[in-house]
Structure 1
Amino acid sequence: MHRSAHSAETQGAQAEAAVARHCGPTLRSAIAKLAPQHMVKNPVMAVVWLGTLTTALATLAGWTSAGFGWAVTAILLVTVLFGNYAEAVAESRGRGQAASLRRARQDLVARRLLPSGGEQTIAANELKQGDLVVVESEQLVPADGEIVEGLAAINEAAVTGESAPVLREAGTDRSGVIGGTKVLSDRIVVRVTAEPGNSFLDRMIALVEGSNRQKTPNEVALGILLAVMTLTFLIVVITLPVIGAAVGVHINIVLLVALLVCLIPTTIGGLLPAIGIAGMNRALQANVLAKSGKAVEVAGDVDVLLLDKTGTITYGDRQATAFQTVNGVSPALLREAALLASLADPTPEGKSIVKLAREQGAHQGAPAQSAFIEFTAQTRMSGVDLPDRRIRKGAVDAMEQFVKSQGGIVPAGLGALVRDIASTGATPLVVAQDQQILGVIALSDVIKHGIKERFSRLREMGVRTVMITGDNELTAASIAAEAGVDDYIAQARPEDKLARIRAEQAEGRLVAMVGDGTNDAPALAQADVGLAMNSGTQAAKEAGNMVDLDSDPAKLLAIVEIGKQQLITRGALTTFSLANDVSKYFAILPAVFAAAIPSMEALNVMQLSSPASAVLAALIFNALIIPALIPLALRGVHFKPATANQLLLGNMLVYGVGGVVVPFVAIKLIDMGLTAVLPL
């Protein structure tokens, strides 16, 4: 997490520098967004843009004084440009990252394996799904794929920004590789999994540039609310000339437009697109690729978080620490059986069993006629079939069923031995030969430092944590208590994860899931927030709606905070926008009616110097508040764990009261400045 935080700070600083360097292009982008096809996507700012054109035409027609008319037109134009600029700045934050990603995939070549056994060197963009390519030390991986042979250290800095190499190995959940990354050691054979133009880098570039960003449900709902409010005030303003005529007040069209712009929620209308884009950018700064803004926002509403024990709660480096026999079985026989059952096991646990057995004196190799049995999530065991015997190792219940199916009997002392090992937090792995259980291997893991505090922080946010593990009930309970999770699922199969997610969702809860293997893909696809590890399989990355480029399963804890921060930021700025509209009413309404209706002077609580000055002061404030809030929209409101009621109260006190007070003070100061320099 420390590296991630440092990475986020570094990328954030780089993003700010990029925005500063590209101020000119950003401004040009803001001007280009004045095109009608873009403006119609934001009804509030579209009305302001239409009002700008209306006041310009009215001034040219002589329907108002030239000075006042052009001043209003200029301020309205600046207001629209500031709104567009906020969106352009948010979009520009991803362009630097996109540029580096494009460089990572340029001029890639591939060594494609031919069916005849030879090789063919071709351009990477000519590769097809299913092709096999060879990559050796100091060469670039030409395309997304899965390692089918070998292992290698790979530099993924072009994608993740992390200079430390990572290990990728065939036959494990860390077999996925990305085109454009660099192999630092050894030789690997990669099966291409992506078609040209649809690689991970291609999709990532499109996402960070915002071209595929879809509005979130909350953003859509708020957009509808703003459109309804805008339409309502538009109708009100259109009817004002009729009302004014009835009381002897003539209202020119420029003043009407100014009134409309001050009534509609222009502040949040101008900042809304930037807030949505900024949420994805903040996730990207944490080295998490969100496939949509919806994924980030839903993370802020998550009720339940499902986490695999291994690699998330524990370091995931379980090592064999002891062999314990049952019913007088020879320790040498147990070590030999454990060694033979693990010789073809590519997992770290399997390798550690082989290492420990050899350290304790077992050196036998497997006969040539051996048939190795791979571990599966369904059988939950692995082993080897020799010419004269069958050896298996696996979960306690799976091994008991195996022995019984062979006509054997489970020894009475096995249960006590398993409980003793599990009570220490270790995982018991039972070893059997034909009908006989020989003993238990103890696999030990370590709880990650600070994980209990992180779960406590999530609990304060109202998120319930559920640990998923293939361990037996006793081991799972021990680890769960030490880690501080709220619940756990022991001896879990892929179907169990999926069933738990569906059960939680059926009760109206939003569920987040972390995974990296192909067997996690169904659960990742079903979860409302599915965080796949970049180091994991292609199936997992395709199923999830987020990809953690650092492959840190605990990253979801940070994503929940980013999602909540986005929700709070939008809520805070919406509250501020609607509140400061109240203040603007007191600036504009007296300007419209006070001259003809003296009693309206009572509404001039701000004691503004003149109707024209009041209108211009309110419009200037209306324009300036948008760029003033851009940094807050991009950075996000400071978030700390609290209940929904506490967050609502805090929003109302800070942004509600502040939204009323700030315009009163600012408009009065602007009015005084205008009076001092202009003859209004």
Structure 2
Amino acid sequence: MNMQAPVTKSANSKSPASETARHDAQPVAAKTGLAALWRPALVQAFVKLDPRQLHRAPVMLVVELTAILTTVLCLIPDPAVPTSVAVQIAVWLWFTVLFANFAEALAEGRGKARADSLKAGSEGLKARIQSANGGYEMVNAATLRKGDVVRVEAGELIPGDGEVIEGIAAVNEAAITGESAPVIRESGGDRSAVTGNTRLVSDWLLVRISANPGESTLDRMIALVEGAKRQKTPNEVALDILLIGLTLIFLLVVVTLQPFAHFAGGNLPLVFLVALLVTLIPTTIGGLLSAIGIAGMDRLVRLNVIAKSGRAVEAAGDVHVLLLDKTGTITFGNRRCAAVYAAPGVTPKELSEGTLLASLADDTAEGKSIVEYLRGLHPMTEPAPSQLTAVPFTAETRLSGVDFEGRVYRKGAVDSLLKFLGRDRNDLPPVLAREIDKIAKTGGTPLLVCGDGKLLGAIHLKDVVKPGIRERFEELRKLGIRTVMVTGDNPLTAAAIAAEAGVDDVLAEATPEKKLERIRQEQNDGRLVAMCGDGANDAPALAQADVGMAMNDGTQAAREAANMVDLDSDPTKLLDVVQIGKELLVTRGALTTFSIANDVAKYFAILPALFASIYPQLGVLNVMHLASPQSAILSAIVFNALIIVVLIPLALRGVRVQAASAAHLLRRNLLVYGLGGIVVPFVGIKAIDLLLTALHLV
């Protein structure tokens, strides 16, 4: 009687229609590419020259000030510096600032394209608000406040985020999630939260608005992709402090060089000192830092996840422990009938008929899978629905079934059905008891079925582990992240599923208190914790976790407690969020390493050139054999500007994170971006020097 049940499509899998809708819902920038964005980004690069905008990028503000100073010096003749060289230095200093502004504007533009399309769908939206006399009046949706009650009819847009307080209806959330299949929303339970700008496709709903203007999911998405309200994260602030510190140190160094030169009987042109300052300070990371942060948030938005703060994204990159629900995340969630086992003295046909009758009125996914399985196993003439008296499942009885022609057919949990028959575990036939234990040990759920007071056999329901999930956990393990499966199953069943899925630990028979206790325990041990959830019972744990991701179709309590909301309501998305967080941190670290490392080569280009006339012995440091002091300085300045342009695609795309330990990633970054940051400038500056000399520009 053993037969493997067919694996059904996941609830999260996408139909061709939904894939089309998802493609249509992607940001405009994703469709048109960067080609359509460079013109407005170029305009913004000049707009951002306003010092009031550059104050957020202190290194670039210093470069702009030096560009202004150099431009002024071009008007003051200096016999030591040809005017043409001074003009070229000034021009390339301006280009350095413009290229950095262009990178930031390009990152912002990718998000603004989507923001514009989102705004277009919300402009002029009307709402039917409940008035004091119990009637309804039409108002502008932008005037709605938290607590207002609105009525939404079929075909209308829901005017704002809220909680369904009356009614049940199908809602199309494609405008927000890209998923074309409508979802059911109703008052009470875990499916009562609705999102603004989604469309009602049937019936009506009475919705209590849960967000003031500017605080809705749509508003947060627009603010994120525009970067208008993106606050600097702690890591960005720390890096800014480091860059400001280095800039001040090198400013003091440069200021003291002129007195030192006078003491040695020489003179250093002010234009050259300005050029030295720009090449000493970490201009590469200073110019790309903002673009890296904006691009990281944009990748998160493209994933259809809304983060309430940049801190949450960075925390995702640093997490040590992931708490993942079993159902819907590790497994498909819809248990399927995998086999049926007959009790001693019961024929296969008798078992099949009794089990089929007990399941015909069960409209759950499990009940339907039992009917589907048995129809293929033993076809029989089924009674009409009108001949059956359905007995629905209840939490008290934990049984369901039908009454048919005076006979009683029931199926349910082992202990509940035995109690229904007036028996206990000791009364189970040994053969059937062994099968039930085997089902539980393999991670399945055993049910018993009876007909007219006779025990017929057992049903094996199996929650199928998602394909590829074990490999994903292995990748996380290599990154030093431990996974914990959270489930309400008994420890035996939970252990079997955990072994099959490859998780590191299990929290069985989980309650809200147990989840909260586990998170606090991990945090007390110095670990950052991430978890996802959708119910009101998950809210305390979501609020406690360093990264709490709520499902968009979950309760309002869960969405408010979490610091991220997944618009697709796909629990496995948490794994992708962790990946994006790590990419953001690694990209920032890699480009910081490269920026500081490439300054080393620029020292060898400019320092010998500056002091060649004062200390001819320093000529030995001219290891690149650059043509002249003017050529060396100008080559370093040109390289300093162009390298920002070369690295813009990497800053926007992000450095891919391989499944490896932190030590391995550090060694790789030092080798690629540290050593590369030293070698590339030597090659680049020498090539520019040869070109400048060949073109007689110096």
Shift in CA distance, 255/441, structure 1 to aligned 2, threshold 3 Å: same
Name the structure 2 match of 1:589.
607
| Native 8 Å contact 2:158 2:197 kept in 1 | yes
Give runs of aligned pairs for residues 296-307 of structure 1, distance below 5 A: 296-307=313-324
Match of 1:17 among 20, 25, 32: 32
| Native 8 Å contact 1:590 1:603 kept in 2 | yes
Could you tell me how far 1:605 is from its partner in structure 2? 1.0
1:134 equivalent to 2:151? Answer yes
Bigger mean CA deviation after superposition, 295-304 or 347-356? 347-356
1:204 equivalent to 2:199? Answer no
- Which AA in structure 2 matches 1:37? R
Name the structure 1 match of 2:348.
none
Name the structure 2 match of 1:69.
86
Deviation digits for residues 155-207 of structure 1, max 9, x if unmatched? 22221233343343443423322111112234333332222332211122112
Name the structure 2 match of 1:223.
240
Match of 2:53 among 38, 57, 73: 38
Give runs of aligned pairs for residues 237-316 of structure 1, distance below 5 A: 237-316=254-333
SS of the equivalent of 2:120 reads helix
| Native 8 Å contact 1:100 1:158 kept in 2 | no
| Native 8 Å contact 1:8 1:287 kept in 2 | no
Query: Could you tell me how far apart the structure 2 residues matched to 1:503 and 1:557 are?
Result: 22
Query: Could you tell me how far apart the structure 1 residues matched to 2:141 and 2:697 are?
Result: 69
- Structure 2 residues without counterparts, runs of 5 or longer: 1-11, 346-350, 374-381, 401-410, 450-455
Name the structure 1 match of 2:72.
57
Name the structure 1 match of 2:230.
213
Match of 1:152 among 141, 146, 169: 169
Give runs of aligned pairs for residues 480-629 of structure 1, distance below 5 A: 480-629=498-647
SS of the equivalent of 1:143 reads coil
Could you tell me how far 1:119 is from its partner in structure 2? 4.2
Name the structure 2 match of 1:435.
none
- Which AA in structure 1 matches 2:40? P
Could you tell me how far 1:114 is from its partner in structure 2? 5.8
| Native 8 Å contact 1:419 1:474 kept in 2 | no
| Native 8 Å contact 1:319 1:349 kept in 2 | yes
Query: Could you tell me how far apart the structure 1 residues matched to 2:139 and 2:89 are?
Result: 62
Deviation digits for residues 458-486 of structure 1, max 9, x if unmatched? 11221111111111112111211121111
Deviation digits for residues 307-351 of structure 1, max 9, x if unmatched? 11111111122468999999x9xx9xx99xx99xx99xx986799
Name the structure 2 match of 1:162.
179
Shift in CA distance, 9/184, structure 1 to aligned 2, threshold 3 Å: closer
Deviation digits for residues 393-418 of structure 1, max 9, x if unmatched? 99999x89xx9xxxx99754589786
SS of the equivalent of 1:514 reads strand
Query: Could you tell me how far apart the structure 1 residues matched to 2:461 and 2:158 are?
Result: 35
SS of the equivalent of 1:259 reads helix
Name the structure 1 match of 2:122.
105
How well do the aligned residues superpose, as a CA RMSD in angstroms? 4.1
Deviation digits for residues 295-314 of structure 1, max 9, x if unmatched? 22221221111011111111
Could you tell me how far 1:493 is from its partner in structure 2? 0.6
Query: Could you tell me how far apart the structure 1 residues matched to 2:668 and 2:595 are?
Result: 16
Deviation digits for residues 204-233 of structure 1, max 9, x if unmatched? 211221122122222222222211111111
Could you tell me how far 1:602 is from its partner in structure 2? 0.5
| Native 8 Å contact 1:307 1:513 kept in 2 | yes
Give runs of aligned pairs for residues 408-447 of structure 1, distance below 5 A: 412=426, 419-427=437-445, 444-447=462-465
| Native 8 Å contact 2:635 2:685 kept in 1 | yes
Match of 1:173 among 181, 190, 196: 190
SS of the equivalent of 2:235 reads helix
Query: Could you tell me how far apart the structure 1 residues matched to 2:155 and 2:319 are?
Result: 43
Q: Percent identity?
A: 57
Query: Could you tell me how far apart the structure 2 residues matched to 1:162 and 1:171 are?
Result: 23
Could you tell me how far 1:428 is from its partner in structure 2? 5.5
Could you tell me how far 1:95 is from its partner in structure 2? 0.4
Bigger mean CA deviation after superposition, 536-545 or 627-636? 536-545
- Which AA in structure 1 matches 2:508? A
Shift in CA distance, 649/323, structure 1 to aligned 2, threshold 3 Å: closer
| Native 8 Å contact 1:279 1:566 kept in 2 | yes
Query: Could you tell me how far apart the structure 2 residues matched to 1:500 and 1:626 are?
Result: 45
Bigger mean CA deviation after superposition, 581-590 or 54-63? 54-63
Shift in CA distance, 224/658, structure 1 to aligned 2, threshold 3 Å: same
Name the structure 1 match of 2:667.
649
| Native 8 Å contact 1:428 1:442 kept in 2 | yes
Could you tell me how far 1:19 is from its partner in structure 2? 4.4
TM-score (norm 2): 0.83
Name the structure 1 match of 2:142.
125
Deviation digits for residues 8-53 of structure 1, max 9, x if unmatched? 9994773473643243332232222222222222221121111111
Name the structure 1 match of 2:452.
none
| Native 8 Å contact 1:324 1:440 kept in 2 | yes
TM-score (norm 1): 0.85
- Which AA in structure 2 matches 1:236? V
Shift in CA distance, 597/80, structure 1 to aligned 2, threshold 3 Å: same
Query: Could you tell me how far apart the structure 1 residues matched to 2:367 and 2:231 are?
Result: 45
SS of the equivalent of 2:327 reads helix
Shift in CA distance, 476/364, structure 1 to aligned 2, threshold 3 Å: same
1:454 equivalent to 2:472? Answer yes
Name the structure 2 match of 1:388.
none
- Which AA in structure 2 matches 1:178? T
Query: Could you tell me how far apart the structure 1 residues matched to 2:85 and 2:446 are?
Result: 83
Query: Could you tell me how far apart the structure 1 residues matched to 2:594 and 2:24 are?
Result: 28
Query: Could you tell me how far apart the structure 2 residues matched to 1:483 and 1:90 are?
Result: 38
Name the structure 1 match of 2:406.
none
Shift in CA distance, 679/508, structure 1 to aligned 2, threshold 3 Å: closer
Query: Could you tell me how far apart the structure 1 residues matched to 2:163 and 2:276 are?
Result: 61
- Which AA in structure 2 matches 1:552? D
| Native 8 Å contact 2:217 2:306 kept in 1 | no
Shift in CA distance, 646/223, structure 1 to aligned 2, threshold 3 Å: same
